[in-house]
Structures are given as structure tokens and as C-alpha cells.
Structure 1
Amino acid sequence: MVIKSFNILFIYILFITLTSYSVANSKQLSKSPFIPDDILNKYDDLPKDYKLKICGFNNYKPKKNIINKDLAPKILGYNSRMDNWKIVEGVYSRDVFKEYADAITYASVNENDKVKEFLFDKLYTWAKNNALSATKQCYTNSKDKPILKDCEGEWSDPNGQDIAPIKDATVAIEIVMGLNYIYNLNFTSYKTDDPRHKKINQWFKSFYKRIKPVSKFYMGNSAGWFFPNITLKHNNNKNYKSLVKKLIKGADKWILKDGSIKDRTTRGNRSLWYHHTGLGEAFMILEIANAANVKIPKNYEKNLLKAAELFQDGFMDNSILEPWAKKAHNSQASSGVQKFNKNLDGVSFNGPWFHIIQYRYPDHRTSKFLKSKMTTRARSLKSDEIAGIGIGCIYNALANFN
């Protein structure tokens, strides 16, 4: 009887020890590196019908005709300015990815297993076919040689009309990593014994060697490659808190006191666009820091909100951006006119910040402005062409729930 009691006590102590060890050594700071757990939990608790409505999914049907075009074998032909996109080989892959991302957000909200299975099998098909793998490799994961020699020299033409294979490589990685982010959030617990998972993960991993390691922070390329590098550590259950600290410290130096963003608000007739994409990354960085429980620098939010106000003012009156735009960094002169979609509902690329700001700072003037200008038809609600996952839907649903 004493021996039996001892064995039970031993097993109990062993269980507690192993559980404590597992918790203590878990390096994943949140379910998704992009979204704090408390946000996901609150969102999951919202009524399904409400989420379908607020995220614009009433009467929505996945565009299978576009998704079924499938990802191309490769991306080929971008110039440095990327304004020749209409003639780039495989460029339709971006549309395939966008519609796929919209559809997975819908399947998640609507709890539609049929659509989810269709999308999971699509991932498997693309993995089996090594989609986009024939795109020229320009980056390596080596700190000594992060860019291959024959991919150097972008913007050798001041007007950006030089062919730049590094742009092809970047777009291909953005698409594949966007699908990886989607997989992590939606499929890791789906049919866990299904052998298709192995092929999908092999395909993702084949692109990891094409991801440039982080060095100095800059805006663009998913915050200077921080987003994919953080994800790789998250995937492998490695500690990445120091990487998040470096990320937020770097971003803090790029969002300036006057509300401009370094090397973004100075982009000539595309200044409003690059300022917007900078805001997209800056707000995502804010959420990554929140998810990792990393302290925000003292003036980060203050300067970020000033940058949001500059976007609002520059959107309403393009000439307001001219003091910065006239520097024409890697761009063409603006003469007070910006190339930017006048309908904010039509903007999805780096669009989640439109909704994050409304949740985090509901009384801010730019939050109220965005709410007045946007509807449930907004493309940024369903997905983002960088993160893939429907971050806009999540924050918009929380921002408007009474």
C-alpha cells in the first residue's frame, strides 16, 4: 500500500515537473507572432453572424476561378520601380494569393470546412508542384553574403526602368511566406495526421534559405526582413524576444517627430503610398511588440499617431506632403499630386493598420476619419498581401463590437 502511494506521488511530481519544464521552455510568446493572444481570444468569442457582417462576408463566395489559376512556376521581369507589373511573367500569382487569403479568412469566420479543405488541398498542390520555386534566388540566409552578386545593382537607372531580378525574388518570397503565415494560424491543427502537411512544410522550408537575415532596420521588405525571421524562430519554438526588441528599436528611429517616415514620405509622386506602407509596417510592429510583451519606446505611439494624421491630411490634400515629396527619393517628382487610390476601400496592401488604429485609438481623429471613409466592402478587411491573414477583419470586428 505504501509502495503504491509512493508510485502515485512520484508520477504526480514527475507530471508537475515536466509540465513546468515545458511551460518554462516554451519560446512561442503567442499563438501568432503578429497578433496578441488576448486579441485572438476576444475575437474568437464574437458571434459568427456579426463577424460575417462586419468583415464584409455577407453574400461572399470564394473566387475559385482565380484561385484555380494556381501559382506560377516563377516570377520574372520586374524593373526596379515595379511599374511594368502588367507584363511580368507569373504576376497573376499575386491575384491568386490575394483571393486565397480572402477565402481562408472567410472559411475561418464562417467555420466552413468544405472551403477550408479546398484551400488546404490547394496548398498541397502548390507544394507538390514547387510553385514559384523557379524564381531566381537573390537572397541567402548567410550574413556574409545575404544578396547574390548577379542580383545586385537595382536602381542602376535613376528612373527605375532597369530589370531587377531582386524584385522578382522579393515578390515570390512575400507570397510564399504569406501562405506560411496563413498555414500557421489556420492549418497546423487541421487533420494533423494528414500526410499532405509534410509536403506543404517541405515547400515552405525550401524558401527559408532565400530569406535574408536581419541586419540594420529599414521600412519595406516586411520591415527589413524582420517579419519572416521572427516567424521562422516562432515556427521552430526558438526565443525571439530580443529580435522583437531590435525591431521596435529600429522602427522607433524611422518614425520621425514631424510625422514623416524616413525614406518613405520622401518618395515623390508615390510618397503617400510609401507613407501608407510604412504605417502598415509600423502598426504591425506595434502588435508584434504587444504579442511578445515587449515595452514600447516612450514616444513611439505619439510619433506613430502623428504619422497617421499626416496620412489623413495628405490624403485629403496631396500638396501637404510636398515638403517631403519634393526630395523625390527613388521616385519621380510629384508637383503636389500623389498616385494613390482615392477609394480607401480598394486598398489592401499593408491595409490592416486602417483597422488596428480604430481599435487601439478609437477617439483619435484619424480613426474617426477612416471609419467615415470606409465600409464593409474594404479589401483590407479580408486579408493583407503581406501578412496574408485577415488581421483587418479581427481588429475591425473588435473595434465596432458594442
Structure 2
Amino acid sequence: MRLRAIVGGIFALSAAVGLASANDDIACVQQRLAEFGYDPGPADGIPGRRTQAAAHVFAEQMAGKSDILAGLDALKEDNAGVWCQALTNAAATPILKTLSSPARYLLPTDVLSALANAPKKSGALCQPAAGQEWALANVPVKKISGLNSRQDNVRSVDGAWEVEKFAGAFSGEAVYALASGDEERKRKLITVLARWAREGALLETISCVDRGGNLNTSGKCSEWRDPEGRDPSGMKDATFATFIGAGLVRAYYVALADTATEELRSEHAAIQQWIGQWSRRLKRPTQVYFGLNMGWYWPTVVNDLAAGRKNQAVRRLKDLEAGMLRLINADGSIVDRTTRGDRALWYHYTSIGEIVVSMELMRAAGIAPSGRLEERLHKAVALFLAAIDDESILDKWARQRRNSRYAGKQDWNFQSWPNSDFAGSWLHIYPYRYGGLETGRKLRTLVPVKAQSAVTDIDLGMGLGCIYNVAATGSG
């Protein structure tokens, strides 16, 4: 009995201490930080390490971005009231309204705040290419079947080309709607996507992922049986449909999910139901590799953030960083990518895109990429730029012919690559982040801010490059 009384007394004392240390103003700060996409832990009024870290990252990222938040000292219990009032006031400003939008799932604070401050008269830097409106009127495609292991027969497979053109047009329109703040355009895009969702777009395509989130690579889901890659591949059908869907979902979350939610309630519901069905096609990410949105990490991270699973998303992003560091060599070459024969330059290029976008996802989640990862990235970009000037530089890697062939020359369009509609967002993100480096300056001279790659990115789902150009120039 005596031991029970002592233990009970300890628990009572612990509870009393906890109650005494709880602070309503701290709870207010925690609630606001969570609304803005940060991770302060539960709104329990206790300024623990997670709360302090979230407040520090928030203050650092918002430095110079909002007068309301200027001069805030490090968060403490005795100044929590000042923090609470500042955050409450800031919540009504364009910057913080943008920060609390779903766009924070993909765009870091500094980019969002620059976007909020930019004029919205035209969003000229994000103007999509003319003449693509027809693609948005395409009949929804339910099934893709017939792609080969090289996935180079898209134009001959029923519906595949139409799906790609639809995704490209939707990508450009969505980013323009976000940059310009065009609410009517957003409503139209929601209606268009809801039409595809109600038709079960892409969902009749074979799935190569089981109910446990594991990948099936046998039977119809096999690939690369023919050394030339001409074999029909259910795996390529499945991944093509899945990652087109992943891009559409990202565009929806980032640009459209908080638009006219009452007016277009049924449309949003249809899209959300489609997203739920589509998400069951996602492999559980267990291994980091280049391709397929960093080994399936991107769509899972965005889904986690959209569902409020911030801690889980952060853990995945840290795993992603560690994996990338293992795959980027000290000389800037990329494992199993810079070795891809006559497509080595293209695979190296798309891999840089995955590195850069992954780092932006980290920043959006409040994680600063390591200096080591940045150093490896700069080496990879330098190698890419050198190969643009002299493709023979890649020979020592390309000759390894990883899952490929090599005829002694790169299969690469040296004239039109800045206007690529696939994986080109990084061409604009990198100069924004690293414009002070020689690699950043050279890339900026090679790639115009109004290049097609700035507004259309089928791999990512949105041409986010133009958003970074808006942030860099301060013009909409």
C-alpha cells in the first residue's frame, strides 16, 4: 500500500507540473504553426523541442518576408503572447494565407511568400503555350495497354499519347492558375479533372502493386525480357498510368484543392474518391532509386502531407536524402543513370531533376538539405553542362551500357532540351537556389525564363520552374 501511495504521489506531482507548465499562448503558437504547415507537435501549451524547432525554422524562412513578423525574438514562454498575436495577425495576410494553402506540400516557404507578394495581373512568366486547350477536352482514357520495356512506343498505344498531352496541358494550366490567382481557371480545371475522375481514368490499367504495397515483377508485370526492350511490358503500362496520375494529383493538391470547396463540393468529392482508388496502386517506398519519382517516394510523401502525416513524411524525406547520397558519386555521375549508353545524358538530366525536386520537398517540409548533398548536386550539374558542350565527356560512363546500348553518340536533342515537357522544372529551380554559383549562372544563360520547361513538366505534374522564376524576378 505504501509503495502504491508513493507511486500515485509521483504521478500526481508529474501531472501538476505538466499542468503548471502548459501555456495558452504557446498552444496558440503551436496551432498557428501547424496551420502554416510546420510541425510543432500537439497544441498542448508546452514549448518542447519540436515546438522550438518549428518556430526557429518558421522565423528563419520568413525573415524579411513579412513586416508583421519582423523583430520576433526566439520563442519563449514569456514572449509567447507576442508570437501568438503576430501569427494571428499574419494569418490574414496574403503571405500566410498562401503558406496555409495546400501549395505548401510542394513549395517551400520562401517561394510561397515571394509568390504571394508578386503582382497577379497576368502571371506572364507562367503563361502556358497556346493551342493546347484541345487536350483538356480529350475523352478520359480508362486503360493503357501495350507499352514496351523502353516505353518508346507511346504514340502507337491507344490512349497513351492523348493521356500525355492531357497531363501536359493540365500541368501548364494548373501552374498558371496558381501563379495568376485566376479563380475561374481553377474552377474549370477542377471540373475537367472531376470528369476524368468520374470516368475512372487510368484505373482499368493493369496494377503491378499488391494490397500490401509490394511490387509484383512477374507474369504480365515483367519487363526487359528482350535485350532491345521491345517486349510488351505490363509493368510499363502500370507505371505510365500510375505516375501520370501522381502528377495530376500533385497539381490538384497544390493548385486546386482549396478552391470553391462548397460550390464544387461534388467535383472535389469525385476527385478525392479517384485519388483514393489511385493511391492503392502505389508501391510502398522501401528503396531509394532514380526513376519512378525517386523509387515511389514523391507520391507517398505528398499523400502523407495531404493527410496530415507530417512526421511520417519527414521520416521518408530523410530516408530519401540518405539514399540519394549513396547514389550520387563524388565526381557527379549518378549510379545506373550516367551509364545508360546512348541515353546517358538524358538519364543524367532527369536524375538531376529528381534530386532538385526532392530537395525542394525537403525544404517545404522544413528540412534543410545537407551540405554534402548540395555539393554532390553541383558536381552532377557541372557534369551535365560539360556534356552539353562536349558529349564525349560522358563516354567513360556511357560505355558501360546499363540496360541500354551504345553507338558512340548521345541520343539527345541538343537544340530543344530547354523546352522539354518532361523533368525540366529543375532547369529553373536550380538557378533560383544557386544563382551565385558558376553552374547556376551558366544554366540561367542557357535556359530562358519563358522556356517550355518552365511551365510544363509531365513527370512532376506541374511546371514549377515558372513559379521559381516569379520568385527570382519578383514579377508575376
The TM-score normalised by the length of structure 2 is 0.76
For the 8 Å contact 2:348–2:384, the answer to whether it is kept is yes
Q: Offset at 1:14?
A: 11
Counterpart of 1:383 in structure 2: which amino acid? T
Q: How does 1:196-275 map to 2 (within 5 A)?
A: 196-238=267-309, 239=311, 240-275=313-348
Aligned match of 1:70 in 133, 136, 139?
139
Call closer, same or farther: CA 1:357–1:141 in 2, change over 3 Å. farther
In structure 1, the residue matched to 2:423 is 350
Name the CA distance, whole Å, in 1 between partners of 2:180 and 2:276: 30
Q: Offset at 1:269?
A: 0.5
Aligned match of 2:164 in 80, 90, 94?
94
Call closer, same or farther: CA 1:344–1:50 in 2, change over 3 Å. farther
For the pair shown, the structure with the greater C-alpha radius of gyration is 2
Counterpart of 1:241 in structure 2: which amino acid? V
Counterpart of 2:448 in structure 1: which amino acid? T
Aligned match of 1:156 in 212, 225, 228?
225
Q: How does 1:86-165 map to 2 (within 5 A)?
A: 86-91=155-160, 92-140=162-210, 142-143=212-213, 145-147=214-216, 149-165=218-234
Call closer, same or farther: CA 1:365–1:298 in 2, change over 3 Å. closer
Instruction: Provide the secondary structure at the position in 2 that maps to 1:48.
Output: coil
Call closer, same or farther: CA 1:382–1:368 in 2, change over 3 Å. same
Q: Deviations over 1:290-322 (max 9, x none)?
A: 122224334211111110011111112111110
Call closer, same or farther: CA 1:124–1:15 in 2, change over 3 Å. farther
Say if 2:245 is the partner of 1:173: no
Aligned match of 1:41 in 88, 109, 113?
113
Q: Offset at 1:49?
A: 4.5
Instruction: Provide the secondary structure at the position in 2 that maps to 1:192.
Output: coil
Name the CA distance, whole Å, in 2 between partners of 1:24 and 1:364: 33
Call closer, same or farther: CA 1:207–1:56 in 2, change over 3 Å. closer
Name the CA distance, whole Å, in 1 between partners of 2:468 and 2:26: 38
Name the CA distance, whole Å, in 1 between partners of 2:122 and 2:136: 26
In structure 2, the residue matched to 1:360 is 433
Name the CA distance, whole Å, in 2 between partners of 1:197 and 1:147: 32
In structure 1, the residue matched to 2:452 is 379
Q: How does 1:331-342 map to 2 (within 5 A)?
A: 331-342=404-415
For the 8 Å contact 2:144–2:205, the answer to whether it is kept is yes
For the 8 Å contact 1:266–1:328, the answer to whether it is kept is yes
Name the CA distance, whole Å, in 2 between partners of 1:341 and 1:89: 30
Q: How does 1:14-29 map to 2 (within 5 A)?
A: 19=28, 22=31, 28-29=37-38
Name the CA distance, whole Å, in 1 between partners of 2:432 and 2:179: 19
Q: Offset at 1:376?
A: 4.2
Counterpart of 2:273 in structure 1: which amino acid? Q
Name the CA distance, whole Å, in 1 between partners of 2:299 and 2:268: 20
Q: Offset at 1:43?
A: 1.7
For the 8 Å contact 2:126–2:466, the answer to whether it is kept is yes
Instruction: Provide the secondary structure at the position in 2 that maps to 1:299.
Output: helix
Counterpart of 2:178 in structure 1: which amino acid? S
Call closer, same or farther: CA 1:18–1:276 in 2, change over 3 Å. same
Counterpart of 2:402 in structure 1: which amino acid? H
Aligned match of 1:293 in 366, 382, 387?
366
The Cα RMSD (Å) is: 2.4
Name the CA distance, whole Å, in 1 between partners of 2:324 and 2:234: 27
Equivalenced residue count is 386
Call closer, same or farther: CA 1:371–1:26 in 2, change over 3 Å. closer
Name the CA distance, whole Å, in 1 between partners of 2:258 and 2:273: 17
For the 8 Å contact 2:427–2:447, the answer to whether it is kept is no
Instruction: Provide the secondary structure at the position in 2 that maps to 1:312.
Output: helix
Q: Offset at 1:18?
A: 6.7
Q: Offset at 1:50?
A: 7.3
Q: Offset at 1:96?
A: 0.8
Call closer, same or farther: CA 1:107–1:290 in 2, change over 3 Å. closer
Name the CA distance, whole Å, in 2 between partners of 1:25 and 1:366: 36
In structure 2, the residue matched to 1:8 is none
Higher relative CO (CA 8 A, sep ≥ 6), structure 1 or 2? 1
Q: Deviations over 1:77-124 (max 9, x none)?
A: 111111222211211201111011111222233333332222111011
Name the CA distance, whole Å, in 2 between partners of 1:218 and 1:26: 32
Q: Which moved more, 1:34-43 or 1:23-32?
A: 23-32
Name the CA distance, whole Å, in 2 between partners of 1:137 and 1:27: 36
Percent identity of equivalent pairs? 30
Name the CA distance, whole Å, in 2 between partners of 1:362 and 1:14: 43
Name the CA distance, whole Å, in 1 between partners of 2:26 and 2:167: 45
Call closer, same or farther: CA 1:113–1:290 in 2, change over 3 Å. closer
Say if 2:391 is the partner of 1:318: yes
For the 8 Å contact 1:138–1:147, the answer to whether it is kept is yes
Name the CA distance, whole Å, in 2 between partners of 1:140 and 1:22: 38
For the 8 Å contact 2:208–2:238, the answer to whether it is kept is yes
Q: How does 1:48-59 map to 2 (within 5 A)?
A: 48-49=120-121, 51-52=123-124, 54-56=125-127
In structure 2, the residue matched to 1:6 is none
The TM-score normalised by the length of structure 1 is 0.89
Counterpart of 2:166 in structure 1: which amino acid? V
For the 8 Å contact 1:282–1:304, the answer to whether it is kept is yes
For the 8 Å contact 1:28–1:237, the answer to whether it is kept is no
For the 8 Å contact 2:225–2:231, the answer to whether it is kept is yes
Counterpart of 1:114 in structure 2: which amino acid? E
Counterpart of 2:226 in structure 1: which amino acid? D
Q: Offset at 1:36?
A: 0.8
Call closer, same or farther: CA 1:27–1:172 in 2, change over 3 Å. farther
Name the CA distance, whole Å, in 2 between partners of 1:14 and 1:325: 61
Structure 1: give runs of 5+ residues left out of the alignment.
1-12
Name the CA distance, whole Å, in 2 between partners of 1:25 and 1:104: 26
Q: Deviations over 1:164-206 (max 9, x none)?
A: 1111111111111211111111222211122211111001110
Aligned match of 1:195 in 259, 266, 271?
266
